[in-house]
Structure 1
Amino acid sequence: MVKVIASNVRKGNVLEHDGGLYVVLKADSFRPGKGTPTTTVEMRRISDGVKTVITVKTGEGLERAFVEEVSHNYLYNEGDNYIFINNENYDQVAVKAAMIGDDVVWLQENAECALLMFDGNPVSITLPPRVTMTIMATEPVVKGQTASSSYKPATMENGARVLVPPHIEVGTRIVINTEDSSYVERAKD
């Protein structure tokens, strides 16, 4: 195990805590004007999926588990499992839907993802940072509406909803940031 400073903990890291392995879901550092800076880490135990939140001093060390990051491509889903194939040895790996969580809407066929493996088993997944999708439904453009700060809801081809600028129309392909489900730009393809 390797020590990592609490302020350097990121989403997707695997930590050892209280004798178990946990995947970090969210980590926020708080630096007050006076007092001790703290980091709040929201994480899920790999063995049974129980979520827990810990708050530690920002400079405190946490145990980071040694995991191997292996590139895989998404193939298909089979019930509650999502099947990935290793790009090097062509082994197939089943990943539970709970491990992917709400980000499953951004999973596209043949998308290259990074699976974190511990003792040969997947413990966490990192999706591509951006995906390109087509808008299936959105409100029509309103004349005189400014594009500066107003956004309108749009439904993507997979059913996910994203806020887009008012000039974007149905049928437009757009790039979406998978981390926060936000509009990035029009697709250049």
Structure 2
Amino acid sequence: MKINGVSIRIGNILNYNGKLWVVTKTQHTQPGKGGAYMQVEMKALIEGTKLNERFRSADTVERVHLEARPFQYLYAEGDDFIFMDQETFEQITISSDFVGDASAFLQDNMIVNISMYEGRPISVQLPDTVILTIDQADAVVKGQTASSSYKPAILENGVRIMVPPHIEAGMRIVVNTADATYVERAK
């Protein structure tokens, strides 16, 4: 769908110069002399590069709608991950580089949302939180206040995380997958 340059909003996915971009910042400027324009900062969905571009109201750009579908994580094969479409039961292979740091939180049979564009995967979105077990936790240092002190711990998947002092090895906790932070003790 074509939109004009001043209709671009944060979060829009654009097909610009043969690449897919997500809009991260916009600033509408109306100078005293000349026409108004939209200063847009975009990030390439696949490459991760950034681009600053100026769009006038007469410029048109292609806005893209990505289809997000649920997929089930099946297993890892070398540096690749195998996912199964929940609707068609077709399997797709996605590189671990493409999934990024979030790959440490993939668990067997986990349901993830994969955004597709023209049948090609563009992004993998894990659930907001996962429940994991603490493998190792440092001892509490006496004299530290419980409210502001956190101690390092290692999760069952090898990820290092900071946890409150009352968390010990063997406990199950809820972890935020976006930034690998402690949320709460699992129930």
TM range, smaller chain? 0.7 to 0.9
Matched, 1:88 2:87: yes
Uncovered stretches (5+) of structure 1, i.e. residues with no partner: 31-35
Structure 2 partner of 1:121: 120
Q: Residues 75-154 of structure 1 correspond to what in structure 2 (within 5 A)?
A: 75-154=74-153
Matched, 1:177 2:176: yes
Q: Counterpart of 1:55 in structure 2: which amino acid?
A: N
Structure 2 partner of 1:33: none
Q: Residues 26-37 of structure 1 correspond to what in structure 2 (within 5 A)?
A: 27=24
- Deviation, 1:180, is 1.3
* Greater alpha carbon shift after TM alignment, 116-125 vs 173-182: 116-125
Instruction: With the length of structure 2 as denominator, give the TM-score of the two structures.
Output: 0.79
Q: 1:52 to 1:77 in 2, by over 3 A?
A: same
- The 2-side partners of 1:148 and 1:27 are apart by 35
Larger radius of gyration: 2
- The 2-side partners of 1:166 and 1:113 are apart by 32
- Deviation, 1:121, is 2.0
* Greater alpha carbon shift after TM alignment, 94-103 vs 126-135: 94-103
Structure 2 partner of 1:8: 10
Structure 1 partner of 2:49: 52
Q: Counterpart of 2:43 in structure 1: which amino acid?
A: E
Q: Indicate the SS of the match to 2:108.
A: coil
- The 1-side partners of 2:126 and 2:153 are apart by 22
1:7-56 residue CA offsets vs partner (Å, 9 max, x unmatched):
521xxx7431212224x4x93679xxxxx9966433343xxxx3321235
Q: 1:38 to 1:108 in 2, by over 3 A?
A: farther
**What is the percentage of aligned positions where both structures have the same residue?**
41
Structure 2 partner of 1:71: 70
Q: Counterpart of 1:110 in structure 2: which amino acid?
A: N
- The 2-side partners of 1:102 and 1:179 are apart by 9
Q: Counterpart of 2:49 in structure 1: which amino acid?
A: T
1:141-165 residue CA offsets vs partner (Å, 9 max, x unmatched):
2233212222111111010111111
